Structure 1
Amino acid sequence: MVRPGDAGVMQRRSVLGTSLARDMDREAGGLDLFKPGQGQTCRGCGATLTEEVADLGLVPLSVDPVRAAAGVRTVCAPLRAFVCGDCRLVQVASGGAVLRDPAPCPPDGFAGIIATRLRLGPGTPVAAFDATVLAPFRDRDIPAQAVPTGALSALRLREALPPPVLLLAGPLLATAMDLADALAGVRALLAPGGVAVFDIPDLMARLAGNRFDLLAHAVPALPSLLVAEMLLWQHGLVLFEIEAVPGPGPWLRLLVRHEEDATKPIAGTVLGRREAERAAGLEGPAAYHRAAVAVAEARLAVLDLLVGARRDGRVVAGFGAGTAAATLAAATGLGPGLIGFTVHPEVGQSGLELPGSQVPILPPAALDEVQPDLLLVLDGTAAVAARAELARHCRWDGRLALPLPVLTIV
């Protein structure tokens, strides 16, 4: 059972995560490809990873649209997700360097809400690991600065600057190459009575929706709330409140305090989420085994649909051009031979294509000209929302194929 108090599993390992030196060597040498039996180890506890959650094959390291005639080689690598049999941390094997911040930025009103709640003012320092989230605080004359991660950096900063009352850690739990060092740094840097804010992927929602299209090289770890609590607890940090993060892709925002801070009791939202994750089986192997089967079946279903459509002479186009669309296309083996193009409202006549699959991206007006028999939704948009978006840009009103969680045609 994975609980904040269950430290035995984690403490059995003498080395927590990978060492900084080994991380630097890997970054300098590029992405290490995972091979069966290679001994890929958990970044949370050091155990060998053997339980697979998803194998998406070769997926581009960067999933942003590319110029069709740019002649730039798309670099791909195997994208495989495993769950640790000891600590139950879900992670991407041999994750490469983070290409860009994968987490959603705090909404416009977040700074005002948290400033009021923590009574932040001109004399209360704020820090963040990402400088781009600090502008709303500076606009309120709150001293805010970007700081590096890591325990050594935190100790040096404590000697030179006042400790921050609010520390915006962002996706640190999902992206840190050395989790132990990163969390030790948060513990050391945060002021007594302060609050650290973390963002993590909503693993339970992603498993329930079979959203393997949201896996990415840039997000090497996907801790459940139970695992996140355990990792935080190991470094004297306690989660006391959670909230859903608005925006694409389900994420959770965690509000964290020092364990000795008795002024911030654990909210009912945290207690309820714990029970929901236990009921979903996230503490054992069964839920992850079901996820692996669901991923494989969904990939095959999409490929069967498109091969059958081509055999029958039916025309299929796509909807969506974001990161999820690029990942789904790569994971299901799509290409111009199976899907002629995909449409996106924000793309004009710009000659863009999905990386890896090389599927052209066109404006929705192309649907009126081609009149496809079926539109495959690539980016996880719900059918109602997709139709509403299309209605604003074109007259086509045919059938939609929704590939996740299971293939459905409406």
Structure 2
Amino acid sequence: MTRCRLCGSTALESVVDLGATPPCESFLAAERLDAPEPAYPLHLRVCTDCWLAQIPPLITPEETFSEYAYFSSYSSSWVEHARVFVEDAAERLGLGEDSFVVEVASNDGYLLRHVVDRGVRCLGVEPSVNVGAAAREAGVPTLTAFLSPETGAAVRAEHGPADLVVANNVYAHIPDVIGFTKGLRALVADDGWVSVEVQHLLTLIEENQYDTIYHEHFQYYTVASAIRALASGGLTLVDVELLPTHGGSLRLWARPEEAAGEPGRRVADVLAREKAAGLQELSGYTEFSARVAKVRRDLLRFLVDAAEEGRTVVGYGAPGKGNTLLNHCGIRPDLLPYTVDRNPYKHGRYTPGTRIPVLPPERIAADRPDYVLVLPWNLRAELVEQLAYVHEWGGRLVFPIPELSIVEVER
């Protein structure tokens, strides 16, 4: 990487180098286990001019998202998060039968189903053929396409301008930040609203959430860098909410610059927090790599000790972030013989790079392991409840992030 993709600067400084890994959602079918598997460098850098943290665009969105292994609806807490958002947004913006809502990267309709239920006209724009088909089957109108200025203009010409454009967990996934932002502006009405949810770099750094660094996440935002990114497409940040999702996320409320007005107090408050954490100078990034290395050492020490003591450890979940963790730590089936996942698409497949089998969740109760390593640690509250049954045989849960934590669960 030689230039920042947002401002064009060459002033890029290393934050953490995680080696080389395969794309995190490229789960392997059994017949591919003897085939070559490409791996790409995973090196996070920060631009010291605009403070956008980023990795090189070594894979394209088309490679990742044309067929996608992640279905949002398999997380109960995420579906509920979407339902609450739709209710609140409808009240905040006065959405009704005459309104139009567009969601970009709408996945399997996990959010827009709630818009449909309210009788509000909507459209999903989803590039992945398989998950978009699932959305349509669920009754959510969905266009299979990547967002660009041209796509945005075509949707607007056919359906009219959107009163609300939602872009949850996609703003990090596109290497052409400026083109994507212009696409958002093309979709939204001149007096409309854009809501963007994206992981907050502040919590990523503070909570050692390095496993959320992977190839389909091209950049990592602070409010300061998000303001600049939104402005590149003609949008102005007017409000921000701090969310607990994904270990700590931002909900950015933006409007076309001509309708925006002055930003609310919360924008200034979060900017002040970021500045106090040193995220607008290199000092805020220099210790991160050492803390990442400690996560790796602690997890490997636990797994090796458990193996030598004859204790069994299996995984729960097969999220993209888990594959960053497994590959960085060099964990193979000798230390983690399998993981399970609620998504049947992943059953019978193997984790990229580490070749760990992905099985149905029922396997845990059948095998009664001593420990369950929870890879989607961001769903901790949900999964402690879901996995309470491991208490029946004295099993315990293990969370690797932000630091190694062994939890005894109770019914």
Pairwise TM-score range, normalised by the shorter structure? 0.7 to 0.9
Q: Is the 8 A contact 1:365 1:394 kept in 2?
A: no
What is the match of residue 87 of structure 1? 50
What is the match of residue 404 of structure 1? 401
Q: Aligned equivalents of 2:155 and 2:369: distance in 1?
A: 61
Q: Aligned equivalents of 1:71 and 1:409: distance in 2?
A: 33
Q: Is the 8 A contact 2:105 2:170 kept in 1?
A: no
SS at match of 1:337: coil
Q: Deviations over 1:99-158 (max 9, x none)?
A: 248786761243343223222233333333345454443444433335663334445555
Task: Give unpaired runs (5+ residues) of structure 2.
Answer: 73-77, 126-145
Q: Deviations over 1:76-102 (max 9, x none)?
A: 322222111221111122342332487
Q: CA RMSD, aligned part only?
A: 3.6
Match of 1:181 among 179, 182, 185: 179
What is the match of residue 218 of structure 2? 220
Answering whether residue 22 of structure 2 is matched by residue 60 of structure 1, we say yes
Question: Given the superposition, is the C-alpha separation of residues 95 and 269 from structure 1 closer, same or farther in structure 2, using an over 3 Å criterion?
Answer: farther
What is the match of residue 123 of structure 1? 98
Question: Given the superposition, is the C-alpha separation of residues 335 and 242 from structure 1 closer, same or farther in structure 2, using an over 3 Å criterion?
Answer: same
Match of 2:354 among 357, 376, 379: 357
Task: Give unpaired runs (5+ residues) of structure 1.
Answer: 1-38
TM-score (normalizing by structure 1):
0.75
Q: Aligned equivalents of 2:340 and 2:9: distance in 1?
A: 43
What is the match of residue 294 of structure 2? 297
Q: Aligned equivalents of 1:386 and 1:144: distance in 2?
A: 32
Match of 2:164 among 163, 166, 173: 166
Q: Aligned equivalents of 2:163 and 2:357: distance in 1?
A: 48
Q: Is the 8 A contact 2:315 2:336 kept in 1?
A: no
Match of 2:7 among 42, 45, 54: 45
CA drift at 1:307: 4.1
User: For residues 6-405 of structure 1, what are the structure 2 equivalents within 5 Å?
Assistant: 39-48=1-10, 50-63=12-25, 66-67=28-29, 71=33, 73=35, 74-98=37-61, 99-100=64-65, 107-130=82-105, 132=109, 133-146=111-124, 149-155=147-153, 162-245=160-243, 247-261=245-259, 266-307=263-304, 310=307, 312-323=308-319, 324-342=321-339, 351-361=348-358, 363=361, 366=364, 372=370, 376-380=373-377, 388-393=385-390, 395-397=392-394, 401-405=398-402
CA drift at 1:357: 1.4
What is the match of residue 129 of structure 2? none
Q: Aligned equivalents of 1:64 and 1:210: distance in 2?
A: 24
Q: Give the partner amino acid of 2:352.
A: P
Question: Given the superposition, is the C-alpha separation of residues 201 and 95 from structure 1 closer, same or farther in structure 2, using an over 3 Å criterion?
Answer: farther
Q: Is the 8 A contact 1:201 1:250 kept in 2?
A: yes
SS at match of 1:238: strand
CA drift at 1:399: 5.8
Q: Aligned equivalents of 2:180 and 2:379: distance in 1?
A: 37
Q: Give the partner amino acid of 2:265.
A: G
CA drift at 1:335: 0.6
CA drift at 1:257: 1.1
TM-score (normalizing by structure 2):
0.75
Q: Aligned equivalents of 2:105 and 2:375: distance in 1?
A: 30
Q: Aligned equivalents of 2:329 and 2:184: distance in 1?
A: 39
Q: Aligned equivalents of 2:151 and 2:357: distance in 1?
A: 45
Aligned residues: 369
SS at match of 1:165: strand
CA drift at 1:314: 4.1
Higher normalized helix content (fraction of residues): 2
SS at match of 2:285: helix
Q: Give the partner amino acid of 1:250.
A: G
Question: Given the superposition, is the C-alpha separation of residues 255 and 394 from structure 1 closer, same or farther in structure 2, using an over 3 Å criterion?
Answer: same
Question: Given the superposition, is the C-alpha separation of residues 116 and 358 from structure 1 closer, same or farther in structure 2, using an over 3 Å criterion?
Answer: same
Q: Aligned equivalents of 2:278 and 2:357: distance in 1?
A: 40
Q: Is the 8 A contact 2:3 2:9 kept in 1?
A: yes
Q: Is the 8 A contact 1:165 1:191 kept in 2?
A: yes
Question: Given the superposition, is the C-alpha separation of residues 388 and 397 from structure 1 closer, same or farther in structure 2, using an over 3 Å criterion?
Answer: farther
Q: Which moved more, 1:111-120 or 1:124-133?
A: 124-133
Question: Given the superposition, is the C-alpha separation of residues 368 and 256 from structure 1 closer, same or farther in structure 2, using an over 3 Å criterion?
Answer: same
Q: Aligned equivalents of 1:63 and 1:156: distance in 2?
A: 30
Question: Given the superposition, is the C-alpha separation of residues 336 and 127 from structure 1 closer, same or farther in structure 2, using an over 3 Å criterion?
Answer: closer
Q: Is the 8 A contact 1:172 1:182 kept in 2?
A: no
CA drift at 1:163: 2.1
CA drift at 1:389: 4.0
Q: Percent identity?
A: 28
